[in-house]
Amino acid sequence: MTYRGERKHSKKREAILEVIRSTECHPSAQWVYDKLKPVIRDLSLATVYRNINLFIKEGLVVSCGVVGGEERFDGTTSPHPHTICVHCGKVADTPIPQGKTMEMIEDSWKIERPPEAGQNFSIDFRKTVFYGICQDCLNSAR
């Protein structure tokens, strides 16, 4: 496993990153901790948080935002929108509509405006989150 920057190899760090990257559920730090604690007995929740924050700084993991009081993370770092269920809190990747490519979306995110237009910065990225009700919640309501 390759990490950015010069730092000591850590089996715990490697396991935390692998758990985040191996799931599509957009886990919280608590979820990661609960998955790894049975196999890494001396793991602490603080270690999970510390390493996730390091991964975010290094661009290896992104934050999807806070859902139900817990920050959720994604191991897929390429720009893509998310959908969050307002009923159960499920976070899912949102498919790009047919005919739209990620390049087009990325280009539209990098809008630069002249300072005289009231925008004294250029936009490097944008998070797009859609809120609604997931299919499971819709089905259970019927």
Q: Are residues 3 and 63 in the same domain?
A: yes
pLDDT value of residue 141: 83
Same domain, 66 and 2: yes
Q: Any idea which of 49-63, 100-114, 122-136 has the lowest mean pLDDT? A: 100-114
CA distance linking residue 61 with residue 68, whole number of Å? 20
Domain count of the fold of the chain = 2
Confidence at residue 104, expressed as pLDDT on a 0 to 100 scale:
58
Task: Point out the domain boundary residue: 75, 106, 122.
Answer: 75
The token pair that represents 7 in the structure block: 């730092």
Tokens, residue 57: 């700084």
Spell 106-137 as b/e; 16+ CB within 10 A means b: eeeeeeeeeeeeeeeeeeeeeeeeeeeebeee
61 and 97 within one domain: no
* pTM score: 0.76
Position 79 confidence tier, pLDDT thresholds 50, 70, 90: confident
In this predicted structure, the answer to whether residue 102 has a pLDDT above a threshold of 50 is yes
At residue 98, the pLDDT reads 59
Q: Name the residue range of residue 71's domain.
A: 1-75
Q: Which of 75, 90, 124 is the last residue of a domain?
A: 75
Beta-strand relationship, 70-74 and 62-67: antiparallel
